[in-house]
Amino acid sequence: MSTPSSEVLTSLSTLRDYIRWGASQFTEAKLVFGHGTATALDEAAALVLHTLHLPYNLSELYFQSKLTLEERQAIVAIFDKRIKERKPAAYLTHEAIFAGLSFYVDERVLVPRSPIAELIAQRFAPWVEEDLVERILDLCTGSACIAIACAYAFPDANVDAVDISNDALAVAKINATNHQLVDGLTLYQSNLFDGLPADVQYDIIVSNPPYVAVEEWQQLPAEFHAEPEIGFVAGDSGLDIVIRILAKAKDYLTPQGILVVEVGSSAETLQDTFPNVPFFWLDFERGGDGVFLLTAEQIIEYHKDFANALN
């Protein structure tokens, strides 16, 4: 860091001081954000508040509070670690907030940040009738943040969560335990639908799968390379896994069911691949894009297109 720690510890004293200073250090170091925080100031605030065991919605009345020497040293240490290691802040704190809920995260899973959280908060309205939702499937669940948020939104529904990675499922199990959902959430180690019971169907299938093309992945900043590659890369086009989901979904959706998938930067490629398919691209008030919705009826109607692309 550009300023010696001893000088910082003597010249800065308040919570506000350290948030401001941290943001300046992060900007100078050209850190990259986008893992739950959008700016250097937001990330500095998140790290300071977590380090001091304070809530993220802390009143500004406390920002002039003076910090103890031990607190200042802890903050400088975590800022230094963030700059030197280029890891997302969530890996340093082992916590990410998604859909207003706290999740344990480490390098075995992507940091939760999907705009699908907003859709879950709306209980997928107006696309489903909330009281009629009995089963939900989260494909490529990672930390299980989407699955667990769905379990809160639909407390009477059965929620299944799938991931191919045993490492990711170990993190998912931690979060299911932390949220007291060990019995309410079923985890499957499976390559997409392959390990699911053959006769099960879902009212909602939701997925934030790998959707980044190999070339794009290679060009991403260091913070993204700190995350597991398996959570990003999906072939030369970025669509390898998404197409498999589209081709298989018809067998796992109820007649009134919906499929919601985040494809992020591959949205244009997907639309170009299936120019006749009326993907409904969702808008989000809190930001984010590249999430489509299809009904079970549409999945069936265009199944031949999806199957042909798979072959």
pLDDT at residue 2, rounded to an integer:
47
pLDDT at residue 4, rounded to an integer:
56
pLDDT at residue 311, rounded to an integer:
76
- Average pLDDT of adjacent 10-residue blocks, the chain of 311 residues: 67 94 97 92 95 92 94 96 96 94 96 96 96 97 98 96 98 97 91 93 97 93 95 93 97 97 95 96 90 98 96 76
pLDDT at residue 212, rounded to an integer:
92
pLDDT at residue 14, rounded to an integer:
95
Burial letters for 108-126: b for 16+ Cβ neighbours within 10 Å, e otherwise? bbbbbbbbbbbbbeebbee
Long-range contacts of 33-41 (CB under 8 A, 24+ apart): 33/223, 34/113, 34/223, 35/88, 35/89, 35/90, 35/96, 35/111, 35/113, 35/223, 36/88, 36/89, 36/90, 36/96, 36/97, 36/98, 36/111, 36/112, 36/113, 37/89
- DSSP H or E stretch at residue 253: strand 253-262
pLDDT at residue 287, rounded to an integer:
81
pLDDT at residue 184, rounded to an integer:
82
